[in-house]
Structure 1
Amino acid sequence: MAAHVLRLRLHLLFGALRGDRRHVIRTLLGLLVLLLAVGAVCWAVLRLRTAPVEVALTVSVIAGAAATAGFFVAALVGGFDDQLDPRRFAVFGPAPRPLAFILLLASVFSAPILALVAVGVCVVMLWTAHGAPLGLCVLAVILGILTCLLLAKVALALGGLVLHERRSRELTGIFLIAILVIVVPVGVFLVSLEWDGDVPAALGEAVDVLALTPLGAAAALPARAIDGDLVGPLVVASLTVLVLGILWVWLVEHVLTTIERPSSGRERRGLGWFAVTAGTPTGGIAARSLIYWLRDPRHLVNLAIVPIAAVVTVLPLMLVGVPVEIAALVPVPLMALFFGWLAHNDLAYDSTALWMHLAAAVRGYADRAGRLAPVLLVAIPVLAVALPIAIMLHGRWAVLPAMVGVCASLFLCGLGLSSISSALAPYPVSRPGDSPFQQPQRTGGGLSQGVVLIGAIILSLPALWWGWLTLTADVEYAWTAMWGGLAIGLAVLLIGVFGGGAVFDRRGSRLMEFAEST
């Protein structure tokens, strides 16, 4: 059976070159781009033979970790059709464990893995030039390739199980946002480092940590063999392959012995955000809120104004003489404060759609928690991208934990108070279809706006004070500010969700009257 699967894999591999002319041209162009990319990477790796060991270690670990993570994310997000999906062989009744190893072996004959093998040969040449043992270099490359291969196979299997017929545009967007949140801060951090011919201390510490993780352990093995600190990366890399191998065998056995529930792809494709969120009252309200926030111009304008207003505040600060490195830290906490404040009157934007929540008799805390999903989905990536940029302009990465604590406290306290305010004191807003800048005449509403803003600042005063001490007294206060700010923010958020839920349960009829009359 192994020989048959291998022949099948080779036929599929060369079969990509058959077909109409356009298909063949696209395939050949793709292969050409891949060959050029592999050639460039191999050339860069071989150039490191004359670089110091520390520089070669840094580049190898970062590149290896990025490639390893890329195999998993690309397989999970891309929605590729796995030609060696174990379910395709279920009709032949194979034993799960032998099939798992056969499919893993056949998957080596693919363009990405063959490209990794070519790069791995250059990596062996790199580290043998630095004096690392040849056998250990080969072992490191094999462990790295197996890690990438197993991660891709596990991701494809999980995508087939969990995301089968549910891989929607919304879910892919969430994964892409997650990648953006990770890649941009890391890129900003690397760009901000000052290279004087040696590896910066901050980057060296990050590489040391990364070398003890499943992502970078295999890539760090040759350099650690030279330094004499081999045990940690070797254990981590070996355990990673072992655990992923066990998980892959279990997934193959699971998909071969599990009968999928029949479903209609057409129905699932039409669910949108409802296919992504949990099938609970909170998940349903979150999906509906996401649809409203991402399509209603009234909400979109509010979301767009927050970053603009926060950045504009830097100009008057600089005009009055505030140093740039201090003024650069102001916009991000302001964005966190205003993002938390946005939901203070969210219920009023529902208009008569509020009746769905009341008619379904959902609990108040489910309504309060579900409505926070759009703000969280937008605010967290924006803050995660803006925060490292502000720290880079400031120049001291040691204050990053303090800024995280301050922003978390302002944002979460604002959400908690907004969860109470929107149920306790809603006020009229522009109706659906009206201009976002058109505001109805009203006699009240300003009080709740001010209470949420000022309340979030007052509750965040401890985190703000610790952040100030980080800048002016001792940088050790940064961690106090981070953990203290997170604790305060989460406590206020929980109190706000459950307290606002109680208000929503008690004032349901009045809220419906408000929605009908505005």
Structure 2
Amino acid sequence: MITVIVKLKLTLLRNGLRRSTWRTVALIIGMAYGLILVVGAWIGLVALRSAPGWLTADLTTVGFALLTVGWLMMSLLVFGSDETVDPARFALLPVPAKRLQPGLLLAGLLGTPGIATTLIALGTVAAWARGPLMIMAAVITVPIGVATCFLIARTATAAFSQALSSRRFRDFAAVAMALFGATIGLAINAITRATSDFSLAALRSLLERVSTALGWTPFGWAWSIPGELARGAVLVAVIKLVLAIALLAALWLGWRYFLTRSLTSPLESGGGSRRVAAGSGIDRLLPANAAGAIAGRSLRYWRRDPRYLAQISGICIAPLIIIVTQLISQDGGNKPLIAFAPVLISLLLGSVVTTDISYDGSALWTHISTGVRGAADRSGRAIASAVVLGPIVVIMTVAASIFSGTPQLLPQVLALVIGLGLIGLGVGCWAGSVWQVPVPPPGANPFQRGNSGGFANLASTGASIGLTAAIGLPTIGLVIASYWIGWLGYLAIGIGLISGLIALRVGIARGGARLDRTWPEVLARVSAQG
């Protein structure tokens, strides 16, 4: 079964790369970044071989514990789980989860993150090549640590995907994700304050405390074993080895439980079958035309689809982290930074509209078959995104202005929020017609990413932000100049509004015209996603 699943993984990956140029580009970029990380990590780990034992112990524990945390967080917030071999696809076969697990584990590690993590982890053997006992400890650590990285990410995404099928939990998750992002910001701010009086002794003390703390968490149990042996704490090393093996067993059983759930009750079968009343309140507020109908349908998706919930959370976390970390700073924080934090949401609006059409999947054919024009499609999706994210931006802008105590900066902030927001919508309307990034299929695991979809999303987001900022340079320039000539801030609002409306109109027109010419190709691409 292991060989069959691995061959299936490689075959699906190869076929997916043949169908999509973007997936090939994303894979090449991912492999390039992975190679750079592996080479850099190996240089550092080999250099640690000649470093003092305490330094090697602390750095490897902290570094690899954070790597494990990174697997968990990147799986939940960015990349998702690489479901090229989706367990739900085995639901109709008489294969229990117990038999699938080893093959899915090996297949999951064959991606760029898994290979890079394994190669980097092998570098610990070089770092601890200081005797037979230390080499043996490092060799034992590598498979336990790598397996923990994979299983903790896979179990978490499986658990969240099951929980997100509940509407109540989705509402709770949006708040929880934002709070978690703020918590990360608090931790970063605390570390920054602790190192403000930089000195070698203070840095060594901080590194030791962080290493000790992380070494006693599930993220650092396995990675800290060689360090404990280097310090002569054999009993502590044995205790951590037992804890690491117990954690691995618990994650393995937890993953099996969720695999069994996906095999017997796949998420795709959980689609809602409730009747939706026609002519709801939101429909009466929207234009009575094709664009309004598309906007109403998109708004229903925003409310019910867990994939959109994850997107909103990801967009809101970044400015929240900035605001919270600056507010809790002992010196009161950077007031202008707090005031301008909501601009990040406007910068990301383009990526939201860009990926919107990809979420339709094969159901896009019902849209195309009605003969709707591309411009109406672009307008409707832009309206829906503005209705959902517009109030969030307004509330966060007002709150940031109040908490920062800088009402004099409100004109400049509004100029960027309005101007870049409208430009972002226009960029997204055009970009969404040019490329369609890999996304989980409707109703599936909201954290699923197949065939390097995470890298394609990152590339798409980066391109959208860059193009939005480039078009918004006149507004940005006026905002900067307003620090010396105050009235330019009010002029920037007008320039931002005008340039934003022009960009939105051009984006809708050109994006719509391109869709009119390429609807069959777009349908083929979005149908092949996931």
* Alpha-carbon separation, structure 2, partners of 1:173 and 1:65: 21
Match of 1:40 in 2: 40
Distance verdict in 2 for CA 1:56–1:129, change over 3 Å: same
Shift in Å at residue 5 of structure 1? 0.8
Letter of the 2:232 counterpart: G
* Alpha-carbon separation, structure 1, partners of 2:300 and 2:54: 51
Tell me, yes or no, if structure 1 residue 294 matches structure 2 residue 376: no
Distance verdict in 2 for CA 1:25–1:86, change over 3 Å: closer
Match of 2:220 in 1: 216
Higher relative contact order (CA 8 A, sep 6+): 2
Distance verdict in 2 for CA 1:296–1:35, change over 3 Å: closer
* Alpha-carbon separation, structure 2, partners of 1:9 and 1:71: 20
Distance verdict in 2 for CA 1:94–1:228, change over 3 Å: same
Task: Judge conservation of contact 1:61–1:220 (CA < 8 Å) in 2.
Answer: yes
Match of 2:9 in 1: 9
Tell me, yes or no, if structure 1 residue 307 matches structure 2 residue 314: no
Task: Judge conservation of contact 2:46–2:123 (CA < 8 Å) in 1.
Answer: yes
Q: TM-score, normalised by structure 1?
A: 0.50
* Alpha-carbon separation, structure 1, partners of 2:258 and 2:82: 17
Choose which of 206, 227, 230 in structure 1 pairs with 2:231.
Answer: 227
Alignment map for 1:185-204 (pairs within 5 Å): 185=189, 187-189=191-193, 191-192=195-196, 194-196=198-200, 200-204=204-208
Distance verdict in 2 for CA 1:11–1:197, change over 3 Å: farther
Shift in Å at residue 87 of structure 1? 0.9
Shift in Å at residue 158 of structure 1? 2.2
Distance verdict in 2 for CA 1:273–1:111, change over 3 Å: closer
SS of match in other structure, 1:200: helix
* Alpha-carbon separation, structure 2, partners of 1:304 and 1:226: 52
Match of 2:75 in 1: 75
* Alpha-carbon separation, structure 2, partners of 1:218 and 1:246: 18
* Alpha-carbon separation, structure 2, partners of 1:263 and 1:240: 36
Task: Judge conservation of contact 1:76–1:156 (CA < 8 Å) in 2.
Answer: yes
Shift in Å at residue 140 of structure 1? 0.8
* Alpha-carbon separation, structure 1, partners of 2:128 and 2:251: 26
* Alpha-carbon separation, structure 1, partners of 2:25 and 2:198: 44
Which deviates the most, 147-156 or 7-16? 7-16
Percent of aligned positions with the same letter in both sequences? 23
> C-alpha deviations, 1:169-226, integer Å up to 9, x for none?
9579627724642552354156436442796224312321221111111111111112
> C-alpha deviations, 1:301-359, integer Å up to 9, x for none?
2442223369x9xxxxxxxxxxxxxxxxxxxxxxxxxxxxxxxxxxxxxxxxxxxxxxx
Letter of the 1:271 counterpart: R
Choose which of 243, 248, 270 in structure 2 pairs with 1:241.
Answer: 248
Match of 2:302 in 1: 270
Distance verdict in 2 for CA 1:296–1:10, change over 3 Å: closer
Shift in Å at residue 262 of structure 1? 2.1
RMSD over aligned CA atoms reads 3.7
* Alpha-carbon separation, structure 2, partners of 1:35 and 1:16: 22
Letter of the 1:308 counterpart: G
* Alpha-carbon separation, structure 1, partners of 2:224 and 2:108: 25
Alignment map for 1:83-482 (pairs within 5 Å): 83-129=84-130, 132-163=133-164, 174=178, 177-178=181-182, 180-181=184-185, 184-185=188-189, 187-189=191-193, 191-192=195-196, 194-196=198-200, 200-229=204-233, 230-258=237-265, 260-263=269-272, 269-271=301-303, 294-296=392-394, 300-308=397-405
Letter of the 1:5 counterpart: I
Which ranges in structure 2 are unaligned for 5 or more consecutive residues?
274-296, 311-387, 410-530
Match of 1:56 in 2: 56
Question: How many residue pairs get matched?
Answer: 298
* Alpha-carbon separation, structure 1, partners of 2:222 and 2:193: 24
Q: TM-score, normalised by structure 2?
A: 0.49
Task: Judge conservation of contact 1:144–1:218 (CA < 8 Å) in 2.
Answer: yes
Letter of the 1:127 counterpart: W
Distance verdict in 2 for CA 1:128–1:16, change over 3 Å: farther
Distance verdict in 2 for CA 1:81–1:241, change over 3 Å: closer
Task: Judge conservation of contact 2:13–2:84 (CA < 8 Å) in 1.
Answer: no
Letter of the 2:140 counterpart: L
Distance verdict in 2 for CA 1:17–1:303, change over 3 Å: closer
Which ranges in structure 1 are unaligned for 5 or more consecutive residues?
278-289, 313-518
Match of 1:345 in 2: none
Give the number of the structure whose alpha-carbon radius of gyration is greater.
1
* Alpha-carbon separation, structure 1, partners of 2:179 and 2:11: 33
SS of match in other structure, 1:18: helix
Task: Judge conservation of contact 2:58–2:227 (CA < 8 Å) in 1.
Answer: no
